[in-house]
Structure 1
Amino acid sequence: MAGETVLTIVGNLTADPELRATSGGVSVAGFTIAATPRVYDRRSQQWEDGQALFLRCSAWRELAEHCAASLSKGMRVIARGALRQRSYQANDGTQRTVIEMTVDEIGPSLRYAKAAVVRTTNPAPRANGFAPMRTEPAAPAPVAGEPAGAGGRAPVAEDDPWGAPVQSPFDDTDSEF
C-alpha cells in the first residue's frame, strides 16, 4: 500500500451491506459508515455530538461476503482501508467527485457489544483462483477452574492455538517479586 492514504474509521453502519457481483463474478459489498465525534461542552457540562462524517465503503471478494453475512444496520464497526477519489458525470451533466474507502479489514467494535467469531476454512481454489468459503463454529475457550467440557464448552485440542487459554501479562503468580 505504498503511496496510498490509509485510514481507520470507527462508526455505525447506516444500512445493511449491499452484496453484488461484478460482470466477472467478483463479490463486492457496499455500505456507509457514519462516524460522529463526541465533544465535551464545559459550559453545559455535557457531551454533545459533533458533525457526522458519512464515508461510503466497499469490500471485495470473501471480505464482501463476510460483511454481508455478519454486519447489519446500526452496528458499530472498526474499518481500515485505502481512500480513493473518483470523479464522474452526474445525470444533470455536472462533474462530481467523491471520496470512498476500499476496506481491507473490518470488524465489530467491542466497546458496547460482544461478538462470536466463526472461522472460515478454504477448500481447493476454483478455476478463477478463488475458493468458496465454508464456515465452522469456533470452539469456545475453556473457563479457568472448570474441567474440560464443563459448562457446555468443548474440550480444547492440544494442537489448537486458538483454543488455548490466554495468560495475562499482568498475572504475576509465577513472579519472584
Structure 2
Amino acid sequence: MAGETIITIVGNLTADPELRTTSSGASVCSFTIASTPRTYNRQTGQFEDGQPLFLRCSAWRDLATHCAQSLAKGMRVIAQGRLQQRSYQAQDGSNRTVLELQIDDIGPSLRYATTQVSRTSHTQAQQGAYTGGATGYGNPNPTATGEDPWSTPDNGPVYGAAQGEEEPEF
C-alpha cells in the first residue's frame, strides 16, 4: 500500500515469541526485537553500546505460526515490515500511543550463526504442519532422505545443451 513506512530492523529477540489466536481464528505472534547501536570510541579503543531500541512486533497467519516454531529468545533476526502507530486509552484514563512493526518478512541473521531451512508447501502451512523448528530448522541434510525442498515437478521438456535444444525465448 502506498504511503506506508517500511523499515528493516536487525536485533535480538528479548523473549520467546507468543502465539495467540484471535476470535475470528487468525493466528498472531507477538515479540520484541531489541536493536542496540555500537560505535567505536577511538580514545578508549573499545566499542560502546548506544541507547537500545525495543520495537514490539507482530506477525499474522502462517507467518505467525512459522515465527512461533522457528524463533526463540536471544536469536539475532532481520525483520522487515510496516511501521504503524496506534493510540489507546489506558486503564488509568491516560491516552497512550505506541509504535509497532507489522512483520512482512523475518529470518535469522547468519552473521554469527548457521541454519538449515525447510520449505513448507501451501497445504502444510494451512494444516499447521510446519517442519522447521527453533532447534533444528528442518532436515539438516535433505539430500540424504531424497527430499529437495526447492524442487519443482517435472512438467515438460528439459532445455539445455545436453539435448541439443535452444533455451526458450522470454
CA-to-partner distance for each residue in 1:16-59, whole Å, 9 max, x for gaps? 00000000010000000000011011110111111100000000
Percent of aligned pairs sharing the same letter = 59
Q: Which has the higher contact order (CA 8 A, sep 6+)?
A: 2
1:116 matched residue in structure 2: 116
* Structure number with higher helix proportion: 2
Equivalent of residue 160 in structure 1, options 132, 151, 154: 151
Contact 1:8 1:81 in 2 (8 A): yes
How much does 1:2 deviate? 1.3
Q: Say whether residues 1:52 and 2:52 are aligned partners.
A: yes
1:102 maps to: 102
Q: CA deviation at 1:99?
A: 0.4
1:140 Cα offset (Å): 3.6
Please name the residue that 1:167 is paired with. Answer: none
Alpha-carbon RMSD: 2.2
Q: Is the 8 A contact 1:8 1:80 kept in 2?
A: yes
Which aligned pairs between 1:136-175 and structure 2 lie closer than 5 A? 136=131, 137=138, 140=141, 153-154=144-145, 160=151
Alignment of 1:11-160 (within 5 A): 11-123=11-123, 131-136=126-131, 137=138, 140=141, 153-154=144-145, 160=151
Q: Secondary structure at the match of 2:68?
A: helix
Deviation at 1:135, TM superposition (A): 3.6
Gapped regions of structure 2 (runs ≥ 5): 132-137, 153-170
4+ runs deviating over 6 angstroms: none
Distance across 2 between alignment mates of 1:117 and 1:11: 20
Question: Which amino acid in structure 2 is aligned with residue 68 of structure 1?
Answer: A
